[in-house]
Amino acid sequence: MPENAQPIARDGFALFPDRSVVAMRVNGELKDLATPLTDTDEVEAVTFDSPEGLSILRHSAAHVLAQAVQRIKPQANLGIGPPITDGFYYDFGVDTPFTPEDVKAISKEMQRIVREGQRFVRRVVSDDEARAELAGEPFKLELIGLKGGKEAAEGASVEVGEGELTIYDNVSRDGEVVWKDLCRGPHLPNTRMIGNGWDLTRIAAAYWRGSEKNPQLQRIYGTAWPSKDELRAYQQRLEEAARRDHRRLGKELDLFSFPDEIGSGLSVWHPRGGIIRGEMEQHARRRHIDAGYTYVYTPHISKEDLFLQSNHLVTYREGMFPPIHMDEERDEDGAITKQGQDYYLKPMNCPMHILIYKERARSYRDLPLRLAENGTVYRYELSGALHGLTRVRGFTQDDSHLFVTPDQLEAEVSKVLEFIISMLRDFGLDDFELELSMRDDEKEKWIGSDEFWDYSTDALRTVALASGLKLTEVPGEAAFYGPKIDLKTTDAIGRVWQLSTVQVDPNLPERFGLEFTDKDGQKKRPIMIHRALFGSIERFFAILLEHYAGDFPLWLSPVQVVGVPVAEQYADYLDEAVATLRAAGIRAEVDHSDDRMQKKIRNHTTGKVPLILIAGEQDRAAGTVSFRFRDGSQENGVPLAEAVERVRRAVEAHALVHTAEDLA
């Protein structure tokens, strides 16, 4: 019995009178507190402050949102309303989009429902009963028809699964059913427990079941927390996140843009953004070469056959751009004399790296073979899913594929993980945790032998544990062909981002017939390791931009030093000083504008320039300069040669320079 398991009572209310308990786990499954219990059940409390408790709170708030909408707009059709990270949403079929005034009215109605203390009461129903009770809800009827299938919409698992159908009634204090919804639960015991730590945050459009072929619905987002104080803390985090939003900073700092003339989700990089990206790529390239990787280059486009063999056109077709038909030839009468072929923009680099491996015979002496590429790929994301640089249609993966013998797997994964962590630390990230995605007991989902799964999963687990980082094991989340390790990092304001992935893959070597000659002279299959360190350069850039709020370490700053003369007559002296900095490899320039000195300083401080170099009569006479730092402090009379050397050392150290001490 689990450590916090309790003696059995009639139901959860008698067992857990503490109001912080919102549900219970019975024999490992989440259940409502009203669920009847037996003497043999193992029962654990689920509290508000647990991840499951927060999810239940938010799911219950989503139901109250839907009830409030139908009180105000009775003709609104219900979509789905799952809990999500930090909140919840609900989708509705309505004749006209929601307005901010609608949201205010809905919020007030939600407050009334919360105060009414309606009970959430679960009922098991048959498919026919559910259809009869929800006859006026076309989206719910569609979900009932998909019960147990693999095609349900994202978030629909909160409503239908492979087991029994259930409806939750909202029951008033006098016992009347005032509203109902198809739902798997569990829920809070009553609406009053939602409290006042919630808010509606925004409205958006969303396609039913995530497909543009389906009707467009209206989505209302909200957030919910156990207390008002936690809600306020979350709202403050949102304000800070908005201040750091990479889309806003990208525009303010002139780093990148998304011209309408090019198309949605396709970015162009401006000179300053290009400098930062170039530094990122060049540093990564040097580190990869030192670690034994070889860079390769592959086309952006390929014939259909390659993606059929790799199976991408079977499993990933909806995420690929439509084909381009080429190479067809016709005679003078228009008759086809040569059949054309379909070409596709590549969504992944791995099939082309496989062809490089396959180009010649390989021996065990060639392995491990480590191929790296900054390869631009293209994926057809729905327009509603696009988000700045973090979700685009064209992006560059710092992609690596390693081909290893089975007995090299553990050692190579260990090297890969150490390399990833070291590289990310170079960029100022140092708070990491790991997630091991494994197979579960659903045999039909996975390919490959039990021996392979056991061996490869154990190898990844051993490597992850040896890292000393927090490890979470997630059964059922592996790719169908092999386990993987995902590395997550926490940024400056506490947000967790998934970055690097290490994926073990025996499937593609099998599909492409890859071989190597082993020591015994026998032909054997290599194992392929997919490894993306940044994931996508665009997304990693956006994460860094927000992590630093645009105030990059000196080595990444597009302009590292700006010279500001006290008066125009000292500009020539600063030009000479800046030329010396440039000769040492420092990105430096002089502000020759007509603005006054203080305005120049303000402009460059706002523009996130790490160091401002100031010179006047005393500096010119002594051959010195003065540093002004991001914190507003100033260091005067620094000999020019010393100033250049200090800046150079700070660049090499990847230092974040805000104060004089940072440039010591």
Catalytic residue of the set 379, 531, 547, 628: 379
What is the predicted pLDDT for the residue at 152? 47
Residues contributing to the annotated binding site: 350, 401, 530
Name the phi and psi angles at 286, rounded to 5: -60, -45
Strands (E), 8-110: 21-26, 29-31, 43-47, 77-78, 83-84, 87-93
Catalytic residue of the set 119, 219, 362, 401: 401
What is the distance between the alpha carbons of residues 130 and 144, in angstroms, rounded to a whole number? 8
303 pLDDT tier (thresholds 50, 70, 90): very high
What is the predicted pLDDT for the residue at 150? 46
Is the per-residue pLDDT at 463 higher than 70? yes
**What is the CB-side half-sphere exposure of residue 345 using CA atoms within 13 A?**
14
What is the predicted pLDDT for the residue at 448? 82
What is the distance between the alpha carbons of residues 401 and 419, in angstroms, rounded to a whole number? 14
Catalytic residue of the set 246, 350, 505, 600: 350
pLDDT digits (tens, 9 = 90+) for 179-199: 999 999 899 999 999 999 999
Catalytic residue of the set 32, 91, 102, 399: 399
Is the per-residue pLDDT at 6 higher than 90? no
Enumerate residues 6+ apart whose C-beta is below 8 A from 203.
Answer: 97, 98, 100, 103, 218, 219, 220, 221
Average pLDDT over the chain, rounded to whole?
Answer: 92
pLDDT digits (tens, 9 = 90+) for 372-393: 999 999 999 988 889 999 999 9
Enumerate residues 6+ apart whose C-beta is below 8 A from 312.
Answer: 320, 347, 348, 351
Mean pLDDT over 600-619 rounds to 95
What is the predicted pLDDT for the residue at 442? 77
What is the predicted pLDDT for the residue at 414? 96
The helix (H) or strand (E) run that includes residue 294 is strand 294-295
* 3-class DSSP assignment, residue 573: helix
What is the predicted pLDDT for the residue at 8? 54
Mean pLDDT over 501-526 rounds to 95
Is the per-residue pLDDT at 468 higher than 90? yes
Q: What share of the chain is helix, strand, coil (3-state, %, to 5)?
A: 35, 25, 35
What is the distance between the alpha carbons of residues 531 and 73, in angstroms, rounded to a whole number? 50
> Percentage of the chain with pLDDT > 90?
82
155/92: higher pLDDT: 92
What is the distance between the alpha carbons of residues 594 and 532, in angstroms, rounded to a whole number? 47
226 pLDDT tier (thresholds 50, 70, 90): very high
pLDDT digits (tens, 9 = 90+) for 400-434: 999 999 999 999 999 999 999 999 999 999 999 99
Residues contributing to the annotated binding site for Zn(2+): 350, 401, 530
Q: Which two tokens stand for residue 472?
A: 């979470």
Backbone Cα Rg of the chain: 30
What is the predicted pLDDT for the residue at 153? 47
pTM: 0.83
Catalytic residue of the set 25, 530, 531, 628: 530
What is the predicted pLDDT for the residue at 609? 95
Q: Which of 42, 45, 55, 40 is nearest to 13 (CA)?
A: 45
What is the predicted pLDDT for the residue at 378? 96
What is the distance between the alpha carbons of residues 334 and 315, in angstroms, rounded to a whole number? 36
How does DSSP classify residue 162? Answer: S
Is 63 annotated in the active site?
no
What is the predicted pLDDT for the residue at 382? 85
Kindly compute the dihedral angle of the four CA atoms of residues 6, 11, 12, 16, in this order, to the nearest 10 degrees.
-60
* 3-class DSSP assignment, residue 538: helix
Catalytic residue of the set 312, 370, 484, 539: 484
pLDDT digits (tens, 9 = 90+) for 307-357: 999 999 988 898 999 999 998 898 888 899 999 999 999 999 999 999 999
Kindly compute the dihedral angle of the four CA atoms of residues 278, 284, 285, 288, in this order, to the nearest 10 degrees.
-170
7 pLDDT tier (thresholds 50, 70, 90): low
What is the predicted pLDDT for the residue at 432? 95
Amino acid of residue 187 = H
pLDDT digits (tens, 9 = 90+) for 144-180: 887 654 444 455 566 776 678 999 999 999 999 999 9
Instruction: Give the Cα-Cα-Cα angle 328, 333, 334 (nearest 5 degrees).
Output: 30
542 pLDDT tier (thresholds 50, 70, 90): very high
Q: CA quadruple 247, 248, 254, 259: dihedral positive or negative?
A: positive
Enumerate residues 6+ apart whose C-beta is below 8 A from 16.
Answer: 6, 24, 33, 45
Mean pLDDT over 464-477 rounds to 93
159/212: higher pLDDT: 212
What is the predicted pLDDT for the residue at 147? 67
Is the per-residue pLDDT at 503 higher than 80? yes
Q: Which two tokens stand for residue 518?
A: 């082993």
Is 401 annotated in the active site?
yes
What is the predicted pLDDT for the residue at 18? 80
What is the predicted pLDDT for the residue at 9? 54
Is 379 annotated in the active site?
yes
What is the predicted pLDDT for the residue at 162? 62
First to last CA, the chain: 59
Kindly compute the dihedral angle of the four CA atoms of residues 595, 596, 602, 608, in this order, to the nearest 10 degrees.
50
pLDDT digits (tens, 9 = 90+) for 620-656: 999 999 999 998 999 999 999 999 999 999 999 999 9
Q: Which two tokens stand for residue 170?
A: 């909202």
Is the per-residue pLDDT at 3 higher than 60? no
Strands (E), 491-570: 496-505, 516-517, 523-524, 527-532, 561-565
Q: Which of 43, 48, 10 is nearest to 27 (CA)?
A: 43
Instruction: Give the Cα-Cα-Cα angle 280, 281, 287 (nearest 5 degrees).
Output: 95
How far is the CA of 196 from the CAs of 115, 189, 298, 389, 644, in angstroms?
10, 16, 55, 35, 57
Is 183 annotated in the active site?
no
Catalytic residue of the set 118, 397, 408, 560: 397
Instruction: Give the Cα-Cα-Cα angle 42, 43, 46 (nearest 5 degrees).
Output: 150
480 pLDDT tier (thresholds 50, 70, 90): confident
Q: Which of 351, 436, 326, 386 is nearest to 539 (CA)?
A: 386
Is 25 annotated in the active site?
no
What is the predicted pLDDT for the residue at 334? 87
> Rounded to the nearest 10 degrees, what angle do helices 537-547 and 228-244 cross at?
120
Mean pLDDT over 21-37 rounds to 92
* 3-class DSSP assignment, residue 139: helix
Residues 431 and 547: beta-carbon distance below 8 Å: no
